[in-house]
Chains A and B, each alone.
Chain A
Amino acid sequence: MTSLELDRVTVTARTVDGEMVVLQETTLTLTEQRVALIGANGSGKSTLARLLNGLVSPTTGQVRVGGLDVAREGKEVRRRVGFVFTDPAAQLVMPTAAEDVALSLRRTHPDKAERRRAALEVLAAFGLDGLGDRSVHTLSGGQRQLLALAGVLATAPDVLVADEPTTLLDLANSRRVGDLLLSLPQQLVLVTHDLDLAARCDRGVVMVDGEVAFDGTAAEAVGHYRAVA
């Protein structure tokens, strides 16, 4: 597994009232296959997840992915770390499903026809066959999230960071996406409010007010969070 390291990392943000600490000094090494980050809204779990892909820069400290400094080698890190957002509508940037997956394949498949064929194969692998020429705008919420996952995983990253990927989905689609995430060969860092899903991970980290309040097995972490929430 890739080693995901936060070394004395803090994140602060400017507000109208001055500076606000979003993430207190945190040192953490994640090497498990599936890690769940849980906590209340505003507890800092999404910030922690975004640090791993360079979407958020640490105010102090260093974030390393597989030994690479995210601040200095962000381009290489982003090739290794895929990121799935809560709302796939913002993540799907091309008009049709096949074109969106093809965008991810531009580096690995320079030939247009080959790229489209590869994109359609990726769609089929995610149960989205026949939807290649559909506008992403007309897909259901579940299909959009699966497409967002397909677009990210098409580049075969080593690590997938998913920030509340099931929050906007109905029960059936939430289960479908959750099962898919947990079955991936990739290392997974999962930010979620779905405690049943979190409990199926190998490790659980509970965030409270911008700091790690508990770190242990996922089942213990869920138990801890249920007790304090």
Chain B
Amino acid sequence: MSLLGLHQPGHTRLHRTSTGWKLLALASASIVVVAVRGPGSSLAFLAVALLLVAWSGAGLAATLRTLRGLVVVAVLMAAYLAWQQDWARAVEAVADLATLVLLATVLTVTTPIDEMLETITRALQPLRPLGVRPESVALAFSLVIRALPTTLDLARETREAALARGLQHDPRARLTPLVIRVVAHARATGDALHARGVGD
């Protein structure tokens, strides 16, 4: 089961903290994680993120299993950076990436999506005179979260289909159907939103 985009009810301090503060903390922490350089600090941030995941009640092992897909990206990125720059930079980049994903997971696990939408909608109200529709931005945000497990499923199905045809090493056989299916799913979701009168 994917933990991405899934709220898990609980009574920890993280669950009780207001959504606005959590969003602000996530935004601030993301800036700090990227801005502070060096592998030592990045590994320290990663350790803190892991502690927060454990504290949130999400279950460290389950979260790490969910994020297995990131390993491929992380390995490729690390190899490229180690080749182009050095190992210190590779460790820093991979640790930063994992930290950001884990922190975002802590937010979604401890916060009902409904609350997140309301907080975003409230925060964006001052931008309404500039043409921003806060409800639409908030809905887009939730759609992204909802789309994560679906996209991972589509990727798995596409990979299995390529494997069944002996095309597992052909990037076209894996990427082209995936892109087409993700776009088709996005269009179908758009139709569904339209049919439900969302945005009217």
Q: CB within 8 Å of B: which residues of A?
A: 53-55, 74-75, 78-79, 82-83, 85, 87, 89-96, 99, 102-104, 112, 115-116, 133, 135-138, 151-152, 155
Q: Give the distance to chain A from B97, nearest Cβ to Cβ, in Å.
A: 23
Alpha-carbon gap, A92 to B189, bound state (A): 8
Residue of A nearest to B196 (CB): A104
A152 neighbours in B (Cβ, 8 Å):
196
Distance of A167 from chain B, by nearest CB (Å): 14
10 shortest interchain CB distances as A-B pairs:
A90-B188, A83-B195, A78-B197, A91-B192, A75-B200, A137-B149, A135-B6, A95-B5, A95-B113, A95-B146
Are A55 and B149 neighbours in the complex by a CB distance under 8 Å? no
B1 CB, min distance to chain A CBs, angstroms? 6
By DSSP majority rule, is chain A's interface helix, strand, loop, or mixed?
helix
* B residues less than 8 Å from A115 (CB atoms): 114
Evaluate whether A133 and B9 lie within 8 angstroms (CB atoms) in the complex, with A93-B189, A99-B112, A112-B118 already known. Answer: yes
* CB proximity to A under 8 Å, residues B162-200: 185, 188-189, 191-198, 200
Contact B196 A90 (CB under 8 A): no
What secondary structure prevails in chain B residues at the interface with A? helix
A93-B142, A102-B114 known; A55-B195 Cβ under 8 A: yes
Q: Is the CB of A55 within 8 A of B113?
A: no
Cβ contact within 8 Å between A95 and B142: yes
CB B180 to nearest CB in A, in angstroms, measures: 15
- Given contacts A95-B5, A137-B149, whether A85 and B191 have CB atoms under 8 Å apart is yes
A104 / chain B contacts, CB cutoff of 8 Å = 196
A102: which B residues are within 8 A, CB to CB? Answer: 114
Other than A90-B188, A90-B191, A92-B146, give 17 A-B pairs with Cβ distance below 8 A: A53-B195, A55-B194, A78-B194, A78-B195, A79-B197, A85-B188, A89-B150, A90-B192, A95-B6, A95-B113, A99-B113, A99-B142, A103-B196, A112-B114, A135-B6, A152-B196, A155-B197
